[in-house]
């Protein structure tokens, strides 16, 4: 099972621990994204040494390839990924709405075309749970409807209500998939938690309605969905301002798909505990390195003969062994090792950022520290955190 | 400095050690290829745990990108590669003859067009040595002329004589680049050995002429070049039959660009100590895994839900953590991790093959073992070793 323990606060920010059957996660925590069953370009051993505690995998991608049944036959997602620590799977909903060629959406679910083989695939709340039971993650997410960032309020309201109905159906499938014996457990027989997902766009009344209905379901954790879809930093902060009163203090709070260091800092200060984002891995593959002084574009000619590491204060594998000049060379020569090495550095940076945030909460200095960090991390975006 | 010690023999096969300023290499040894300054897809830490002792890097690729001067400014090839162990660089000659758009060849050198930026580049014996001094490998190779596999005897004879003249010029440049103080040292001030390269195609008289002239130069080591260029296993074996009498017993013998496990076994039995080949890395990137029972093509549908590792007896990182089904999935999903994991396995296989060969020489059972292994390793090619 999964339990959240808050061990200290600093304003609304919470220092805590997520206790899972596969180990403890110190929160606030960042989850690297392993879309298709691997965090792109790195081995689990490299993930561990980069400081990752828990990873996310995408149900949408895995259900289409290699398929949930195949993952189950290979021993489940932990065996597939060779990752013994905690894993969270999304429900696939977000990708269906953002990536797939959609065919049909109604109250029963959503039917779309597979990008792998063109076949018709239907995702219902019960099926989303069943697929995630086969994958066997420690945390599964409800199926929700994710309206586009610019949807009008009626559309968002309808999505909120549909997502609430789907949350109930997911809860039912999770509670009693084939009778109570299998309840709340994966097909591998391991405990599995279900998180609900708050929707509502930037509308405070819809966010409140969504949260209230989900909280009634008494789920092990709650996510804030539908943000980081183009609404901007300030609008995101306004939504998050209400999180502390809308979601229960004794459950973990997960902000989906975020993200930018500045957004993470702002969200932690408003009471968020968990994050996931492709930023460290995707930007790493594109030669962009995160540092406490801002970002480096490693393809730039200025680094050609620079023997310094990405960050002289960083103790990741990449910074202990490789010069900026070498990394630039690896990218220009299209060597796979370039993306791997910068991904390792970026994952280490995000883990270090979260560790610094946890230490600041413990010290009671988060407000001040976060403002200072945000200034250095995003000089182009201004100091707001 | 570089010294070879033969610690035992089994027929013509030699068990020995290559003593370099950067550590000892147990021979017979296989060197993974790090073309552009990295063994493709793996970190040095992964290389070490896959059992690599010494690696090869390609002067041709590095001189064109990032350039020898840039490698020197970044601290030399060992710093660039983050590889503290011994490194060998070829002279670039082979790639000029096999890859480059060639413009002009005469006794002074060869001029060709860079595949990176189209510029004209000239490689002379002195320049090949100077470039390799900047790169700073522990072993550098002479510039040689490599005629195509089907060249007629006159062409091969001319290439032999030109390569002998170039060997002398390389030796002179190595002995006294800017006066005796820098003799036999890299630009980084580290000892650097020069190996001569025997040419002569499949002509025994030309091979003898080539070897005799090189041996007169009293170089720290000798390579057999111009094989594995389409002449076939039997013709290669015939050439290698004379190696033991043509090349001195107190120097290491290096068979360039080989290779196939069957060819390695045959060559060791004829007195070869060192090998390099792209086979484990290139085939790894193409989902082909080496095992003691032959090769696996990991894209095959038969492995889709197979929870077994590539080789149940293998203790490499990949086999300890990943199922065949997962590896197939990673290749189908075009995840970088697939090539990385199978490369790790293949490098480990080649290191294990060489360790088994060394143990068989020590036990005096190489002939028998090599025949048995060759049968299993290459069922389609017959048992000849």
Q: What is the pLDDT of residues A124-152, one digit of tens each?
A: 999 999 999 999 999 999 999 999 888 99
CB–CB of A315/A305 below 8 Å? Answer: no
Q: What is the pLDDT of residues B123-146, one digit of tens each?
A: 999 999 999 999 999 999 999 999
What number of residues does chain B have? 385
Give how far A33 is from chain B: nearest CA, Å.
13
Both structure tokens of B365: 């059972």
Active site residue A90: yes
Both structure tokens of A164: 């609430």
DSSP assignment string, A324-349: HHHHHHHHHTT-THHHHHHHHHHHHH
Give how far A91 is from chain B: nearest CA, Å.
20
Closest to A337 (Cβ–Cβ): which among B41, B329, B341? B41
Give how far A383 is from chain B: nearest CA, Å.
36
Q: How far apart are CA A104 and CA A111, in angstroms?
A: 5
Q: How is chain A split into domains, by residue range?
A: 3-277, 284-377
Q: What is the pLDDT of residues B219-251, one digit of tens each?
A: 999 999 999 988 999 999 999 999 999 999 999
Q: Which residues of B touch A331 (CB under 8 A)?
A: none
| ipTM score assigned to the predicted complex | 0.95
Q: Which of A58, A83, A299, A333 to mutate to test the interface with B (most CBs of B within 10 A)?
A: A333
What residues form DSSP beta bridges with A193? A139
Q: Do A337 and B66 touch (CB under 8 A)?
A: no
Q: What is the pLDDT of residue A181?
A: 65
CB–CB of A139/A192 below 8 Å? Answer: yes
What residues form DSSP beta bridges with A56? A33, A88
β-pairing verdict for A13-20 and A120-123: unpaired
What percent of chain A is predicted at pLDDT more than 90?
87
Q: Which of A326, A338, A339, A348 to mutate to test the interface with B (most CBs of B within 10 A)?
A: A326
Q: What is the pLDDT of residue B177?
A: 67
Helix (H) or strand (E) holding A275: strand A274-277
* Chain B residue whose CA is closest to A320: B82
Give how far A180 is from chain B: nearest CA, Å.
29
Mean pLDDT along residues B200-229: 97
Taking only Cα atoms into account, the Rg of chain A, rounded to an integer number of angstroms, comes to 20
DSSP assignment string, B91-153: -SHHHHHHTSEEEEEETTEEEEE-TTT--EEEE-HHHHHHHHHHHT-SEEE-------TT--H
Both structure tokens of A234: 């300030």
Nearest 5°: CA angle at A105, between A199 and A152?
45
Both structure tokens of B12: 């013509």
Confidence of residue B382 (pLDDT cuts 50, 70, 90): very low
Active site residue B90: yes
The single residue of B10, B138, B273, B276 carrying the catalytic annotation is B276
Confidence of residue B287 (pLDDT cuts 50, 70, 90): very high
Confidence of residue A178 (pLDDT cuts 50, 70, 90): low
Q: Do B337 and A38 touch (CB under 8 A)?
A: yes
pLDDT at B385 over 50: no
Mean pLDDT along residues B9-29: 98
Q: What is the pLDDT of residue A383?
A: 38
Q: Which residues of B touch A46 (CB under 8 A)?
A: 43
Which residues of A sit within 8 Å Cβ distance of B? 36-38, 40-46, 61, 65-66, 70, 73-75, 79-80, 82, 304-305, 307, 317, 321-323, 325-326, 328-330, 332-333, 335-337, 339-341
pLDDT at B383 over 50: no
pLDDT at A385 over 60: no
Residue listed under structure tokens 């999304």: A90
N-terminal to C-terminal alpha carbon distance within chain A: 34
CB–CB of B344/B318 below 8 Å? Answer: yes
The closest of B82, B23, B42 to B347, measured between CA atoms, is B42
Q: How far apart are CA A30 and CA A348, in angstroms?
A: 11
Q: Which residues of A touch B304 (CB under 8 A)?
A: 66, 70
Q: Which of B32, B320, B326 to mutate to test the interface with A (most CBs of A within 10 A)?
A: B326
Q: Do A317 and B43 touch (CB under 8 A)?
A: yes
The single residue of A10, A90, A144, A273 carrying the catalytic annotation is A90
Q: Which residues of A touch B325 (CB under 8 A)?
A: 66, 70, 73-74, 80
Mean pLDDT of the residues in chain B: 94
Q: What is the pLDDT of residues A221-274, one digit of tens each?
A: 999 999 998 899 999 999 999 999 999 999 999 999 999 999 999 999 999 999
pLDDT at A160 over 50: yes
- Torsion sign (Cα): B187, B188, B193, B194: negative
Instruction: Locate all alpha helices (DSSP H) within A152-255, ordered by sequence.
Output: 153-175, 204-216, 233-240, 243-246
The domain at B2-277 falls in which architecture?
A: Alpha-Beta Barrel (3.20)
Q: What is the pLDDT of residues A61-78, one digit of tens each?
A: 999 999 999 999 999 999
Task: Identify the DSSP state of A33.
Answer: B
The neighbour count for residue A235, using CB atoms within 10 Å, is: 14
The single residue of B10, B90, B144, B263 carrying the catalytic annotation is B90
Helix (H) or strand (E) holding B310: none
Closest to B305 (Cβ–Cβ): which among A42, A73, A339? A73
**Residue A188 Cα distances to A35, A135, B344, angstroms:** 21, 9, 29
Q: How far apart are CA A131 and CA A58, in angstroms?
A: 11
Please state the separation of Cα B105 from the chain's center in Å.
25
- CATH 3.40.605.10 assigned to domain A3-277? The reply is no
Q: Do A75 and B340 touch (CB under 8 A)?
A: no
* Chain B residue whose CA is closest to A307: B74
Confidence of residue A182 (pLDDT cuts 50, 70, 90): confident
Q: How far apart are CA A222 and CA B52, in angstroms?
A: 48
Query: Max CA-CA distance within chain A?
Result: 65
Mean pLDDT along residues A346-373: 97
Q: Which residues of A touch B329 (CB under 8 A)?
A: 36-37, 65-66, 70, 80
Both structure tokens of A13: 């920010």
**Cis peptide before B199, with omega less than 30 degrees from 0?**
no
Give how far B103 is from chain A: nearest CA, Å.
24
pLDDT at B311 over 70: yes
Q: Which residues of B touch A65 (CB under 8 A)?
A: 329, 332-333
How many CB contacts within 8 angstroms connect chain A with chain B? 126
Closest to B340 (Cβ–Cβ): which among A79, A307, A336? A336
Q: Do B321 and A44 touch (CB under 8 A)?
A: yes
pLDDT at B149 over 90: no
Q: Do B45 and A336 touch (CB under 8 A)?
A: no
Q: Which residues of A touch B340 (CB under 8 A)?
A: 41, 43, 336, 340
Give how far A238 is from chain B: nearest CA, Å.
38
Q: What is the pLDDT of residue B150?
A: 87
**Cα dihedral B115/B174/B239/B206 (nearest 10):** 100
Mean pLDDT along residues B298-319: 97
Q: Do A43 and B341 touch (CB under 8 A)?
A: yes
Closest to A304 (Cβ–Cβ): which among B42, B66, B335? B66
């Amino acid at each position: 099972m999964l339990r959240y323990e808050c061990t200290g606060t600093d304003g609304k920010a919470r220092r805590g621990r997520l206790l899972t059957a596969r180990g403890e996660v110190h929160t606030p925590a960042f989850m690297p994204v392993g879309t298709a069953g691997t965090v792109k370009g790195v081995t689990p051993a490299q993930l561990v040494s980069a400081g990752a505690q828990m990873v996310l995998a995408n149900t949408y991608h895995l259900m289409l390839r290699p398929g949930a049944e195949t993952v189950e036959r290979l021993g489940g997602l932990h065996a597939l990924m060779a990752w013994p620590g905690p894993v969270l799977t999304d429900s696939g909903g977000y990708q269906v709405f953002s990536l797939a060629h959609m065919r049909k959406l109604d109250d029963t679910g959503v039917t779309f075309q597979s990008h792998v083989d063109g076949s018709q695939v239907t995702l219902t709340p019960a099926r989303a749970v069943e697929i995630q039971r086969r994958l066997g993650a420690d945390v599964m997410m409800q199926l929700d409807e994710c309206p586009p960032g610019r949807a009008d309020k009626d559309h968002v309201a309808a999505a909120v209500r549909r997502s609430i109905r789907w949350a109930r159906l997911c809860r039912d499938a999770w509670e009693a998939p084939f009778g109570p014996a299998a309840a709340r457990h994966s097909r591998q027989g391991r405990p599995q938690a279900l998180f609900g997902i708050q929707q509502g766009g930037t509308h405070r009344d819809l966010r409140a309605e969504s949260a209230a209905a989900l909280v009634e379901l008494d789920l092990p954790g709650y996510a804030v969905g539908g943000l980081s879809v183009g609404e901007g930093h300030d609008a995101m902060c306004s939504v998050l301002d209400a999180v502390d009163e809308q979601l229960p203090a004794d459950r973990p709070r997960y902000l989906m798909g975020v993200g930018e260091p500045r957004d993470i800092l702002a969200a932690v200060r408003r009471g968020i505990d968990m994050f996931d984002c492709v930023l460290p891995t995707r930007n790493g593959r594109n030669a962009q390195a995160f540092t406490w002084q801002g970002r480096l574009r490693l393809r730039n000619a200025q680094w050609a003969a620079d023997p310094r590491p990405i960050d002289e204060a960083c103790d990741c594998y990449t910074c202990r062994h490789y010069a900026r000049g070498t990394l630039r060379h690896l990218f220009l020569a299209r060597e796979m090792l370039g993306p791997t090495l910068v991904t390792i550095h970026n994952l280490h940076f995000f883990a270090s950022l979260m560790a610094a945030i946890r230490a600041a909460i413990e010290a009671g200095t988060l407000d001040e520290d976060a403002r200072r960090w945000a200034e250095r991390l995003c000089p182009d975006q201004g100091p707001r955190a």
